[in-house]
Structure 1
Amino acid sequence: MIFNSLRLLKHPLRLAQSIRASDIAYKWQQQLGQIYEKQGKTELALKNYDAAIANMAQVRDSLLSTNGDLQFSFQDEMEPTYRNYMRLLLASPNPDLKRVIQINEGLQIARLENFLRCGKIDLVALNQLQNLNSALAVIHIIDLGNTIELIIQSTDGSFHHHSVNSKKVRANVDHLLETLQDEELSSTDERVIISYSQAIYEKLIAPIKTYLPPSGTLIFILDKSFQSLPMGLLYDGKDYLIKHFSIAETLGSRVRQPKSLHKDQLKALIAGLSKDSPSFTDPNAPQGSKPLLQTAQEVKDVEKQTKSSTALLDDKFTIKRFEEELSQNNFPIVHISTHAQFSSDPFKTVLLAYDKVINIKDFGSLIKGTTQNSQDAIELLVLSACQTAKGNKHSVLGIAGIAVQAGARSTVATLWQVDADSTAQVMREFYKGLKNGETKAEALRLAQLSLLSDPKYKNKPYHWAPFLLVGSWL
């Protein structure tokens, strides 16, 4: 029966290949890969999975270049093949870890391009970057269903692999996500959070600790629901990970070319809402939006820490004025303190200006003309007082999407809406660190540690843990 299936598939595949019909060929190659995998013919299975992914990429490129709104059925058609291919590669006694990273990179970038309904994203693979900090380690966490796979690139450039049964991890990840997205998080006992974060640390980080430097920067490339976890919150039994490492996330191990933010670039466009605004009543606004009373003080604090700045507060923060400032001036830093929500649904990924809600596509339109075609791209985009969509494990797609739409080299955002006073303190310390010449990742870490050492916030991860750096860590 399997022989007949192979014969029936090979004939139409040859016909599809003869007329270069990639949109047909990949389907047969997927099925052939699955059949050969069941037969234990690993090389033939890998060959067909590889060809299927190459043809799917051609189809996606054609659709995206023709019309960004055309959606390829990604979840059902593409993702299983990527994951089957990685699973089979990793089953080898000596797996090609670089190839696994490339496949995962392609999967994550394709997910973002589908989310944005855009063309090809211009990002650089980490392994193509030169002169990386020697204290830098890269950790890939890949979810392959029954297993969670970790691939580590150490500071000496060597690659290492560790596999964990997903049953030992997934329940704690789910419980931690539920806890962090609960409305009562601010009053949750720290011990509850630690019980989950320590269990995750013991299964994921402890086994690979020998491959990591004692300090420095960790770059995480996170898959699926792991993307909504603040990795600095993982607990080793004595300290949180943030105590020892500055942390950044990238999408599929790709970033815009990392570049340090020099002191003479501390020029910011600062926008914020501290009062009721018409946008609060928009049906797409985050539910329960209320005035952010500390935003006015946050705006003042950022103004003090930057070399020069323009502030748009409350009724001055209109879409028209925001666009005018961006088009008429070069702002390496754009700081927005307003209600925002990130979701894996692009229509629910929004920022609130005074007059209107700005969805992710509108945001891209506002900024693209003034940054992405210019050498004066946004070096740092800060989104304060934002939150991920409750119950949505893939909300970080929204943060990555906003960053891409803005053409931002680095983006700082929060995974949940934080207390205004503690946020103001983090932002004040973050900009102070930048002013003192720290990298963005280290400036953010020091700002978070300022809360961890403050008696008011010391035992409350709600205040310090949600801050996330996406993109360049320099």
Structure 2
Amino acid sequence: EEENAIAAYTEAVNTLKSLRSDLVAVNQQVRFTFRESVEPVYREFVQLLLQSDRNEANPDNLEKAREIIESLQLAELDNYFRSACLNATPVVIDQVIDQVDTKAALIYPIILPESVDIIIRLPQQPLRHYRTELPQDQIESTLEDLRHFLPQLHRRKFFPMSQQVYNWIIRPIEEDLANSQVDTLVFVLDGALRNIPMAALHDGKQYLVEKYSIALTPGLDLMNPQRLVREDIKVLTAGLSESRQGYNPLPFVEVELEKIKAQVPSEILLNQDFTETNFENSVEAAPFPVVHIASHGEFSSEAEKTFILTWDSKINVNELKDLLQTTDLRQSTPIELLVLSACQTATGDKRAALGIAGVAIEAGARSTLATIWLVDDEATAVLMNRFYQELTDKSISKAEALNRAQKSILQDPNYEHPYYWAPYIMVGNWL
């Protein structure tokens, strides 16, 4: 019975994959039917594979389940961009963990109708699987409450939920993590989990960020498992400190950009200099390994509503690709790091964090550092200054540079609330 079911689902998923380009034709209904019809097929298949794995760890089933979750991420992003534009070239992420960064663990938390399942891959070890049985609506309402309370500066209501989610995702694997001596956790997040900064999960004594560097990958195998070359870090910074197009001023943006310039060689486009044309010209004139934009922007579950504000217009996620990959010069020197330091996810959009993954991929940058909610701009200036300070240290990864910056402001009594440090997330290549 079970074998037949697995065979049937395998066939269904393969058919969906071959229909990718048709599924995302420019048709308003497609997005709706994706949620109703396409996504459940992937989830039911994962559920079947993991259920049949209950009694003995079947490595084939775990591998298959992980592959299906990766395929679902790809299908979601295709649906987001409305085109089958993502040709994932699998650099097997396992090789990165076994050879390039042997201190990283890869974690797939998966929300299923009756459980939260965790698949974990530790360096040099086979996949492992853990399950916490819970109804899906309870999982999702807890995640929604946590996302609601985390940015509320004067309240600590998030604590019980933060510990609850920690118990679902990290508690089962705590011992494995400790025994394998990893220092970086790389998450492939699923569904509503994408809206939660993993850094803010709490074990009752400390936040996850106090124990580990944290990165996310959209599951699309790393584009290029190379470390950032620190010798020639040059940064193109652009930002708005004045109010434009109905958005509030960000008075500390100027401070932020000046502080970055004090740490690493930079070109600054501020306020009226930050136009789409100037930005494009600067990117064309010289290859910058790091592009840092401190301006309002919004991540949405729809590509056309995901944008960054400039002095005179808005750069949409699809245009960002054209701007950042303007010339052939770029191809040999991809942008190593794109930093978006004053953006937020669209209010009321449960899948808005998809937009961050979308921007990360569309910009063609190896890694993207973005914020899930709009942060205090004074704290941002402090955190970014520290981040660039750390980034010049050749011995640490980008994820660790972010981790050190977050911990440094977390230790400041003025900034200890997660509102200040938790929303920064590193997506893509964490090396």
Instruction: Note whether the superposition's TM-score is higher than 0.5.
Output: yes
SS in 1 for 2:413: coil
Q: Distance in 1 between matches of 2:17 and 2:70?
A: 13
What residue in structure 2 maps to residue 158 of structure 1?
126
1:450 aligns with 2:408: yes
What residue in structure 2 maps to residue 120 of structure 1?
86
SS in 2 for 1:239: coil
- Contact 1:69–1:117, Cα closer than 8 Å, also in 2: no
1:88 aligns with 2:48: yes
1:207 aligns with 2:172: yes
Q: Distance in 2 between matches of 1:70 and 1:259?
A: 40
What residue in structure 2 maps to residue 101 of structure 1?
66
Q: Distance in 1 between matches of 2:418 and 2:274?
A: 31
**Cα displacement (A) at 1:305:** 1.3
SS in 2 for 1:227: helix
SS in 1 for 2:42: helix
**Cα displacement (A) at 1:393:** 2.4
- Contact 2:88–2:221, Cα closer than 8 Å, also in 1: no
Q: Distance in 2 between matches of 1:55 and 1:158?
A: 29
SS in 2 for 1:212: helix
SS in 2 for 1:310: strand
Matched ranges for 1:375-386 at <5 A:
375-386=332-343
- Contact 2:283–2:326, Cα closer than 8 Å, also in 1: no
Distance change (3 Å), C-alpha of 1:372 and 1:343: farther
Q: Distance in 2 between matches of 1:237 and 1:407?
A: 39
Matched ranges for 1:27-46 at <5 A:
41-46=1-6
Q: Distance in 2 between matches of 1:259 and 1:323?
A: 26
Residue by residue over 1:216-265, the C-alpha shift from the partner in whole angstroms, topping out at 9 and shown as x without a partner, is: 10001110000111101111111111111000001125222122112223
- Contact 1:155–1:212, Cα closer than 8 Å, also in 2: no
Residue by residue over 1:286-322, the C-alpha shift from the partner in whole angstroms, topping out at 9 and shown as x without a partner, is: xxx211100111111111111x221100000000111
What residue in structure 2 maps to residue 47 of structure 1?
7
Q: Distance in 1 between matches of 2:348 and 2:114?
A: 22
1:296 aligns with 2:264: no
**Structure 1: unaligned runs, 5 residues or longer:** 1-40, 282-288
SS in 1 for 2:123: coil
Q: Distance in 1 between matches of 2:249 and 2:412?
A: 26
Q: Distance in 2 between matches of 1:162 and 1:208?
A: 8
1:259 aligns with 2:199: no
Q: Distance in 1 between matches of 2:49 and 2:258?
A: 53
What residue in structure 1 maps to residue 202 of structure 2?
235
**Cα displacement (A) at 1:326:** 1.0
Amino acid paired to 1:140: Y
1:246 aligns with 2:230: no
SS in 2 for 1:256: coil
Amino acid paired to 2:219: G
What residue in structure 2 maps to residue 177 of structure 1?
147
**Cα displacement (A) at 1:379:** 0.2
Distance change (3 Å), C-alpha of 1:71 and 1:363: farther
**Structure 2: unaligned runs, 5 residues or longer:** none
- Report the identity percentage: 37
Q: Distance in 2 between matches of 1:125 and 1:263?
A: 25
Aligned length: 417
**Cα displacement (A) at 1:69:** 9.5
Q: CA RMSD in A?
A: 2.1
Distance change (3 Å), C-alpha of 1:69 and 1:252: farther
- Contact 1:268–1:310, Cα closer than 8 Å, also in 2: yes
Residue by residue over 1:96-129, the C-alpha shift from the partner in whole angstroms, topping out at 9 and shown as x without a partner, is: 1111000100001110111012312345341253
Of residues 308, 313, 321 in structure 2, which corresponds to 1:364? Answer: 321
The structure whose Rg is larger is 1
1:146 aligns with 2:104: no
What residue in structure 2 maps to residue 326 of structure 1?
283
Amino acid paired to 2:375: V
- Contact 2:88–2:220, Cα closer than 8 Å, also in 1: no
Q: Distance in 2 between matches of 1:392 and 1:457?
A: 27
Amino acid paired to 2:166: Y
1:352 aligns with 2:318: no
SS in 2 for 1:347: helix
Q: Distance in 2 between matches of 1:49 and 1:369?
A: 42
What residue in structure 2 maps to residue 57 of structure 1?
17
TM-score normalized by the length of structure 2: 0.92
What residue in structure 2 maps to residue 268 of structure 1?
235
- Contact 2:383–2:405, Cα closer than 8 Å, also in 1: yes
TM-score normalized by the length of structure 1: 0.84
Q: Distance in 2 between matches of 1:386 and 1:393?
A: 16
SS in 2 for 1:387: strand
- Contact 2:150–2:418, Cα closer than 8 Å, also in 1: no
**Cα displacement (A) at 1:195:** 1.5
1:225 aligns with 2:192: yes
Q: Distance in 2 between matches of 1:81 and 1:324?
A: 46
**Cα displacement (A) at 1:466:** 0.8
Judge which range, 218-227 or 140-149, deviates more. 140-149
Residue by residue over 1:437-472, the C-alpha shift from the partner in whole angstroms, topping out at 9 and shown as x without a partner, is: 2211000000001111112112x1111111100011
- Contact 1:139–1:218, Cα closer than 8 Å, also in 2: yes
SS in 1 for 2:342: strand
Judge which range, 432-441 or 114-123, deviates more. 114-123
SS in 2 for 1:115: helix
Q: Distance in 2 between matches of 1:421 and 1:261?
A: 27
Amino acid paired to 1:194: F
